[in-house]
């Protein structure tokens, strides 16, 4: 089960309901002792995507993340924000519309619902100090990339203007359409960059998912260097398989993190791999350690 299926079930449900079907490795209570504390003398600010650890109750998971030195737990619904915020953590990016990934702003039939939901969340996110809300292009279907871009720009215009008023960013995620999200429209950096330029607001940016873009186009470091001004958030994941980001897969994350830091980026990098081993928190700590770099 992947995030596409999970997001499509959002609609105000709790994390336990949404993510309960995710087949992840187990965890042991008490694994978040102070001995696991991570050295964060790093150029990278660390976040983690909640859905990858859905079998751990959110309260417990937030405590574990705090003890590890992780600063943010993200991809939360509004009814989950306070669980994380009350523990002194941030939510670097929140879910927005309940329509999910496949039904997005590229199709005018979804504009009214997506706008309504996003615009209701924006002021609440601003009040809570949540800086970003995720959005999706939607699947192509019979819509051309050119028409889809125009539809996205039209549909997002009032949302982005509302976001400008509240100092919140609307962030569209780049996803692969080859393995995980067949027919998804915003599946190449170039298309996403063109949409950002078309909308023309500092409050509309891209989420560059390293896992997804390695699958679609590769050339990750150069793409980041060339397009970093359009990007306000990053996700990790091992290729192939979307599991741990260590030497078992083809991406060398220390070099990628160094390239990100050298652009002057001061936002968050979120771990979004699915742990494949018996101790999910140990895998998370390993991912954070790998991404801890200095420049």
Average pLDDT, the chain: 89
pLDDT of residue 148: 98
Q: What is the pLDDT of residues 201-255, one digit of tens each?
A: 999 999 999 999 999 999 999 999 999 999 999 999 999 999 999 999 999 999 9
pLDDT of residue 283: 98
Domain locations in the chain as residue ranges: 3-291
pLDDT tier at 36, thresholds 50, 70, 90: very low
Q: State the Cα torsion 225-229-232-234 to the nearest 10°.
A: -10
Could you give the CA distance from residue 52 to residue 295 in angstroms, rounded to a whole number? 29
pLDDT tier at 2, thresholds 50, 70, 90: low
State the number of CA atoms in the 13 A half-sphere of 138 facing the CB.
26
24 φ, ψ (degrees, to nearest 5): -120, 165
pLDDT of residue 28: 36
Q: Give mean pLDDT, residues 96-111.
A: 98
Could you give the CA distance from residue 148 to residue 177 in angstroms, rounded to a whole number? 15
Collapsed DSSP state (helix, strand, coil) of residue 50? helix
Q: Which CATH number fits domain 3-291: 3.40.50.2300, 3.40.50.2000, 3.20.20.150, 3.40.50.720?
A: 3.20.20.150
pLDDT tier at 35, thresholds 50, 70, 90: very low
Q: Give mean pLDDT, residues 25-32.
A: 36
Least confident range from 8-12, 122-126, 255-259: namely: 8-12
What's the predicted TM-score (pTM) here? 0.87
pLDDT of residue 25: 34
Q: Give mean pLDDT, residues 39-68.
A: 91
Q: What is the pLDDT of residues 158-216, one digit of tens each?
A: 999 999 999 999 999 999 999 999 999 999 999 999 999 999 999 999 999 999 999 99
Q: Give mean pLDDT, residues 21-48.
A: 52
DSSP per-residue string spanning 98-153: TTTTTS-TTSGGGHHHHHHHHHHHHHHHHHHT--EEEE---B-TT--HHHHHHHHH
């Amino acid at each position: 089960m992947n995030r596409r299926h999970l997001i499509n079930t959002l609609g105000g449900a709790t994390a336990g309901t949404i993510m309960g079907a995710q087949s992840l490795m187990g965890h042991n209570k008490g694994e978040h002792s102070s001995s696991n504390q991570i050295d964060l003398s790093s150029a990278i600010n660390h976040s983690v995507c909640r859905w990858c650890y859905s079998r751990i109750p959110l309260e417990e998971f937030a405590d574990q993340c705090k003890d590890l030195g992780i600063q943010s737990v993200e991809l939360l619904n509004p009814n989950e924000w306070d669980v994380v915020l009350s523990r002194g953590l941030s939510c670097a990016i929140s879910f927005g519309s309940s329509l999910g990934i496949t039904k997005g702003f590229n199709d005018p039939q979804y504009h009214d619902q997506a706008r309504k939901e996003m615009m209701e969340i924006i002021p609440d996110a601003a009040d809570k100090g949540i800086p970003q809300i995720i959005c999706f292009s939607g699947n192509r279907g019979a819509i051309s990339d050119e028409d889809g871009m125009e539809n996205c720009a039209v549909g997002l215009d009032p949302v982005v203007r509302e976001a400008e008023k509240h100092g919140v960013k609307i962030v569209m995620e780049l996803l692969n359409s080859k393995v995980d999200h067949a027919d998804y429209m915003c599946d190449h950096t170039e298309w996403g960059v063109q949409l950002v330029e078309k909308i023309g607001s500092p409050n509309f940016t891209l989420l560059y998912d390293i896992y997804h873009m390695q699958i679609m186009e590769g050339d990750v470091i150069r793409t980041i260097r060339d397009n970093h001004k359009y990007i306000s958030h990053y996700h990790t994941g091992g290729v192939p398989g979307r599991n741990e980001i260590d030497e078992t897969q083809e991406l060398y994350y220390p070099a990628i993190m160094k390239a990100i830091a050298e652009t002057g980026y001061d936002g968050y990098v979120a771990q979004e791999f699915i742990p494949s081993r018996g101790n999910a928190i140990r895998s998370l700590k390993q991912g954070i350690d790998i991404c801890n770099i200095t420049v």
